């Protein structure tokens, strides 16, 4: 009988079966795609994070420990890909005599490593000029001492006489924070600033110079082992990889207890990424789950559209002697058929999409687990859509209740309890709490930036989704039920004199109509919030990259090897739309050495994107105009304002090196504003001044960097710039695209393009289905009512007014409430993630084309439903009326 029943349903109720199966399929597809994306993106995050850590472990031998024992313990604790000893020695300072003057620095450090080290840890040392084999000087120290390859530098040892070394190269130390970190500090300790003056020596030379000092002052030297672990053996998920690396580090700590301290940079980074991955999971689920819930709701609605017919079938079955148990079994078979077909469609679709558009990372087992979970959800949905209504019909229906299709509107419990308002208030409170605290990028003791997150923050939008949905139901059903002036205002242009009676007819069906409107509003809200969030996210990732890179393309030079002289040549390149020089030097604010940038405030906007969020005291345009109007003006960081208790207009003296005598001199500036961020500037402290004033006061007009806006693709422009600078390897060229990939540590580095595509496509289908399909099914359910209208004399135009009234309410209500809900959800999400964006976005970026397409789909599907119902009505009216 089971087979006969199912085959009968397939033959005679194909539309109902297919509609429900497709709904299940769509829901399963979205869930599985989200799952595949999460697995893949987490693995990508791990890979990126791991590749971004310059030194996985820094193991520091305590004075007196046996280095060989420590080295042996390291190789036993973990699979090691590279292991190099690094020596650190303190000095009283450095001195150099060049150009007839003597330059002296404050205390510094001299480090030493073997010849393989730059190859093993390529992110630690970047050669700017000269060659690597010999004594190297850090670029800032080179600038302070005014030395170049070939010059001599004197090292003032502690307690011993000075020694001289010959410089062979000038280097940049991009990872100085981590390289010079204090190993073994407790996690809550403040990070140490790297030394201002650094010299790097070959191992033998370091030992020649510092072994005697070590004998006299053992505390003045230390030895570390820098370790790169074998990444191929790491787990793919950040959490698993974190556990694996941390356990190995603990194991090492136990092996070298009392002999060495371990800085687990990789573990700290993975810990942060682990948090990011959880955060990302929540975020993506948050963006996707409302869609899945909507898909489930729509499936139930499609299935419920045949409720009357189902009741009739059940009545027939009972008349023929089928027990309730047998009827439920038949419904179960139908649910299983629908569920299996839907799950198959959904999983095949999701797998196909994943193969084409998602990052292929993560394990097969995890992908299978995701597929299994999505399939289970699909089967549950099928059961809820088919078995529950059947059970409900069996349980409570009597003859008179089965005839009821309209029903008296009664206030459900949640409305009487004002649950919607309570949930909205709770959401508002939680949101205010979270948004007012925000998220801060913190510096881990190991010197690795990590994102601090609070998963509770997602409660606010979750409660808002539920509360707002219920609230919209309350408002919409209330407005329709009241059939007051608002509803009449909407209906009158369409229905003219029929408006009151159409209003009355809608009023008696307020629940049904409100459900259609709310489903449409939710679909629009889902599509809009996803689109708004994704566009803002993408735009902000771009701003983040632009901020780091400074502009589309940037040529970074140094004090000894500036990019400025190339300005005319670069500006003339066809792929460069605009080029602007920027001075980048260092200035002492008291004893604190800070980056200072010299710009032309009137022209910097031509090449760099300056957000209002950079400047807390006004808009970017206002602050730059203030700087342009104050030749000796300077913008300082918030930290400096606090540290030095500065007030606007204060005069501050900054010590800068003068090119004429190579000595630092105090130069007066006027503090005119605060800069939180600035293109290429570090995240902590920096200064921005007028380049003309800086050049005049330091006697050096040459700009170290050149910022460029590209004409077309930034990567192509960067290639032409690199070719133009091929003869000057000291100038480094980067483009915004390559920086986006390098940023890699935070959420904004996760490429959401593929997820966005599926979510937006799904939202479009859902919006069209919620509006058009729900409306069409509703019209079909009530075609007998429309036939009655025709039978008592309603003209086609008047029948059309009944159909258009509902259609208009769906478009208007769905559109207005959908846009409002979607915008608020997206705004909340962006606001909650403010700390992740750097800088925070000034507002939502609106994807107009998608929004208009979405609304057009809603309008189009509604139009289609109304026109089809009208046409069908005319064609079938006679036969329906004969059945009355």
Partner 1 sequence: MTDALVRVKSLSKQYMMPDGEIVPVLSDVTLFIEPGQHIVLIGPSGSGKSTLLHIMAGLVSPSKGSVDWPALGPSDGLMPTRLQVVFQMASLFPPLNVLENVALPMVLAGHQAQAEVRALAMLQRLGLVDLAPKLPEELSGGQAQRVAVARALAITPALILADEPTGQLDSTTAGAFLDEVIAVAGESDTALVIATHDATIAARMQTVWTVSRGNLQFQPEMMGGLT
Residues in contact with partner 1 by the rule CB under 8 A = 403-408, 497-498, 500-501, 504-506, 508-509, 782, 785, 788-789, 791-795, 798, 878, 881-884
75: how many CB neighbours lie within 10 A of its CB? 12
Cα within 13 Å of Cα(368), Cβ side? 3
CB of 523 to partner 1, least distance (A): 25
Instruction: Output the smallest distance, CB 511 to partner 1, in A.
Output: 11
Nearer to partner 1 among residue 309 and residue 795 (C-beta): 795
| Whole-number Å distance between alpha carbons of 574 and 233 | 47
582: left (phi over 0), alpha (psi -120 to 50) or beta: beta
Least distance from partner 1 to the Cβ atom of residue 789, Å: 6
CB of 809 to partner 1, least distance (A): 14
Q: What is the C-alpha separation between 342 and 29, in angstroms, rounded?
A: 9
CB of 318 to partner 1, least distance (A): 21
Please count the other Cβ atoms lying within 10 Å of the Cβ belonging to residue 402.
16
Locate tokens 């079966």: which residue?
A: 17
Q: Which residue has the tokens 């632009």?
A: 546
Q: Which CB atom, from 308 or from 454, has the smaller least distance to partner 1?
A: 308
Work out how close the CB of 794 gets to partner 1 at its nearest, in angstroms, rounded to a whole number. 5
In sign, the C-alpha dihedral spanning 264, 265, 270, 276 is positive
Report the C-alpha gap between 351 and 40 in whole angstroms.
13
Between 385 and 510, CB nearer to partner 1:
510
Report whether 627 contacts 673 (CB < 8 A): yes
> Is the CB of 499 or the CB of 714 nearer to partner 1?
499
Least separation in angstroms between residue 492's CB and partner 1 is 13
Residue number, 187 or 793, with CB nearest to partner 1: 793
Judged by CB, which is closer to partner 1: 456, or 795? 795
Length of the chain: 884
Q: Which residues, listed in sequence order, are joined to residue 228 by a DSSP beta bridge?
A: 82
Q: Which is nearer to partner 1, 458 or 786 (CB)?
A: 786
SS3 774: helix
Give a three-class secondary structure readout of 552-587: CEEEECCCCCCCHHHHHHHHCCCCEEEEEEEEEEEE
Least gap, CB of 283 to partner 1 (angstroms): 44
**Could you tell me the end-to-end alpha-carbon distance of the chain, in angstroms, rounded to an integer?**
34
Q: In the structure encoding, which two tokens stand for residue 822, read together?
A: 């979607």
- For residues 634 and 597, give the distance between their C-alpha atoms in angstroms, rounded to a whole number: 10
User: Which of 486, 878 has the CB closer to partner 1?
Assistant: 878
Instruction: Please provide residue 379's backbone torsions phi and psi, each rounded to the nearest 5 degrees.
Output: -65, -40
Nearer CB in complex with partner 1: 108/778: 778
| 787 Cβ contact list (under 8 Å, min separation 6) | 873, 876, 877, 880, 881, 883, 884
Secondary structure of residue 717 in the 3-state scheme: helix
Closer by beta carbon to partner 1, 504 or else 852: 504
Give least dist CB 786 to partner 1, A: 9
**CA pair distance 643, 638, nearest whole angstrom:** 9
CB 105 within 8 A of CB 196: yes
Closest CA relative to residue 209, chosen from 68, 90, 63: 90
Residues 6 or more apart whose CB falls under 8 angstroms from that of 460 comprise 427, 428, 430, 431, 434, 828, 832
Q: How far is the CB of 477 from partner 1 (least distance, A)?
A: 14
Asked whether the CA dihedral 128, 142, 597, 178 is positive or negative, the reply is positive
CB of residue 324 vs partner 1: minimum separation in angstroms?
25
- Angle CA(454)–CA(457)–CA(463) in degrees, nearest 5? 150
- Write down the least CB distance from residue 812 to partner 1, Å: 20
CA 657 to the chain's CA centroid: 41
CB closer to partner 1 out of 402 and 619: 402
- Nearest approach in angstroms of CB 801 to partner 1 is 10
Closest contact distance (angstroms) between CB of 395 and partner 1 is 20
Instruction: Report the Cα 667 to chain-centroid distance in Å.
Output: 42
Give the shortest CB-802-to-partner 1 separation in angstroms.
Answer: 9
Backbone torsions φ then ψ of 674, nearest 5 degrees: -110, 140
By beta-carbon proximity to partner 1, the closer residue of 794 and 809 is 794
Residue 610's region, left for phi above 0, alpha for psi from -120 to 50, else beta, is: beta
By C-beta, is 162 or 500 nearer to partner 1? 500
What tokens were used for 208?
Answer: 């020649």
Nearest to 557 by CA among 270, 278, 139, 121: 139
In the complex with partner 1, the residue whose CB is nearer, 396 or 568, is: 396
CB nearer to partner 1: pick between 79 and 312: 312
Of 435 and 789, CB closest to partner 1 = 789
- Residue 785 or 864: the one with the smaller Cβ distance to partner 1 is 785
Which residue spans within 466-575 are E strands per DSSP? 553-556
- Least gap, CB of 860 to partner 1 (angstroms): 27
Rounded alpha-carbon distances, angstroms, from residue 29 to 25, 301, 361, 482, 639: 6, 19, 19, 40, 49
- Cα–Cα distance, 428 to 433 (Å, whole number): 8
State the nearest-atom distance from the C-beta of 884 to partner 1, in Å. 4
> Looking at beta carbons only, is 84 or 806 nearer to partner 1?
806
Pairing state of beta strands 449-451 and 592-599? unpaired
Nearest approach in angstroms of CB 404 to partner 1 is: 5
Question: Shortest CA distance to 167 belongs to which of 157, 158, 154?
Answer: 154
Is-contact 540 746, C-beta < 8 A? no
- Residue 110, φ and ψ in degrees, nearest 5: -120, 120
């Amino acid at each position: 009988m089971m087979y006969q029943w199912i085959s009968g349903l397939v033959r005679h109720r194909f539309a109902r079966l297919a509609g429900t199966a497709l709904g299940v399929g769509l829901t399963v597809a979205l869930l599985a795609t989200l799952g595949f994306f999460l697995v893949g993106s987490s693995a990508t995050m791990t890979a990126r994070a791991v590749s971004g850590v310059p030194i996985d472990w820094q193991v520091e031998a305590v004075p007196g420990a046996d280095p060989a024992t420590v080295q042996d313990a390291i190789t036993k604790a973990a699979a090691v890909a590279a292991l190099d000893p690094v020596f650190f020695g303190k000095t009283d300072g450095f001195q150099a005599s060049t150009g007839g003057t003597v330059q002296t620095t404050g205390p510094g450090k001299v480090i030493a490593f073997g010849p393989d080290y730059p190859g093993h840890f390529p992110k630690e040392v970047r050669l700017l000029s000269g060659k690597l084999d010999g004594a190297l000087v850090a670029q800032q120290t080179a600038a302070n001492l005014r030395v170049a390859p070939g010059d001599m530098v004197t090292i003032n040892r502690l307690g011993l006489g000075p020694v001289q070394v010959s410089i062979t190269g000038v280097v940049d130390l991009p990872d100085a924070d981590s390289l010079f970190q204090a190993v073994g500090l407790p996690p809550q300790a403040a990070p140490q600033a790297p030394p201002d003056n650094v010299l790097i020596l070959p191992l033998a030379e370091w030992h020649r110079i510092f072994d005697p000092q070590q004998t006299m002052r053992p505390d003045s030297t230390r030895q570390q082992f820098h370790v790169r672990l074998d990444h191929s053996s790491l787990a793919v998920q950040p959490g698993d990889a974190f556990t694996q690396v941390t356990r190995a580090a603990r194991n090492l700590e136990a092996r070298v207890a009392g002999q060495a301290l371990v800085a687990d940079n990789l573990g700290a980074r993975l810990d942060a990424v682990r948090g990011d991955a959880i955060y990302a999971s929540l975020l993506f689920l948050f963006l996707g789950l409302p869609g899945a819930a909507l898909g489930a709701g729509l499936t139930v609605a499609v299935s419920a559209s045949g409720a009357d017919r189902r009741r009739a079938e059940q009545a027939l079955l009972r008349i023929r002697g089928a027990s309730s148990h047998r009827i439920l079994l038949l419904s179960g078979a139908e649910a299983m058929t629908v569920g299996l077909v839907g799950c198959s469609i959904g999983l095949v679709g999701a797998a196909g999409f994943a193969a084409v558009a998602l990052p292929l990372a993560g394990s097969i087992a995890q992908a299978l687990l995701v597929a299994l979970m999505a399939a289970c959800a699909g089967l549950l949905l099928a059961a809820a859509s088919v078995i529950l209504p059947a059970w409900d019909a069996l349980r409570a229906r009597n003859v008179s209740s089965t005839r009821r299709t309209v029903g008296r509107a009664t206030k459900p419990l949640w409305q009487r309890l004002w649950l919607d308002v309570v949930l909205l208030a709770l959401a508002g409170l939680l949101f205010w709490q979270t948004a007012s605290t925000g998220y801060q990028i913190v510096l881990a003791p190991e010197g690795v930036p990590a994102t601090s997150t609070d998963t509770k923050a997602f409660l606010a939008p979750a409660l808002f989704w539920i509360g707002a949905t219920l609230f919209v139901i309350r408002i919409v059903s209330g407005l329709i039920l009241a059939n007051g002036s608002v509803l009449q205002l909407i209906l009158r242009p369409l229905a003219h004199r029929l408006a009151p009676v159409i209003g009355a007819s809608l009023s008696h069906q307020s629940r049904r109509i409100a459900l259609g409107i709310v489903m449409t509003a939710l679909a629009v809200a889902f599509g809009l919030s996803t689109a708004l969030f994704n566009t803002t996210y993408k735009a902000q990732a771009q701003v983040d990259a632009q901020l780091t890179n400074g502009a589309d393309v940037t040529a970074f030079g140094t004090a000894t090897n500036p990019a400025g002289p190339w300005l005319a040549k670069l500006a003339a390149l066809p792929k460069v739309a605009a080029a602007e020089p920027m001075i980048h030097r260092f200035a002492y604010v008291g004893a604190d050495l800070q980056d200072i940038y010299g710009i032309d405030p009137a022209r910097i906007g031509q090449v760099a994107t300056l957000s209002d969020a950079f400047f807390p005291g006004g808009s970017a345009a206002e602050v730059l105009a203030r700087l342009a109007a104050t030749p000796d003006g300077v913008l300082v960081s918030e930290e400096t304002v606090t540290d030095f208790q500065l007030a606007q207009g204060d005069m501050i003296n900054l010590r800068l090196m003068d090119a004429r005598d190579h000595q630092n001199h105090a130069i007066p500036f006027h503090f005119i504003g605060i800069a939180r961020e600035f293109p290429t500037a570090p995240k902590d402290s920096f200064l921005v001044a007028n380049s003309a004033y800086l050049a005049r006061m330091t006697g050096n007009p040459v700009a170290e960097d050149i910022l460029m806006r590209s004409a077309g693709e930034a990567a192509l422009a960067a290639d032409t710039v690199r070719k133009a600078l091929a003869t000057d390897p000291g100038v480094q060229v980067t483009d915004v695209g390559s920086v986006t990939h390098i940023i890699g540590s935070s959420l904004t580095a996760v490429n959401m393009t593929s997820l966005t595509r599926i979510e937006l496509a799904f939202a479009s289908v859902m919006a069209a289905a919620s509006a058009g399909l729900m409306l069409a099914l509703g019209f079909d359910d009530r075609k007998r009512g429309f036939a009655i209208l025709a039978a008592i004399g309603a003209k086609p135009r008047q029948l059309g007014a009944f159909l258009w009234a509902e259609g208009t309410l769906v478009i208007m209500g769905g559109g207005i409430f959908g846009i409002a809900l979607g915008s608020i959800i997206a705004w909340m999400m962006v606001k909650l993630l403010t700390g992740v964006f750097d800088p925070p976005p000034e507002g939502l970026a609106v994807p107009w084309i998608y929004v208009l397409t979405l609304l057009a789909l809603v309008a189009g599907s509604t139009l289609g439903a109304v026109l089809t119902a009208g046409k069908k009505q005319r064609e079938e009216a006679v036969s329906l009326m004969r059945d009355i």
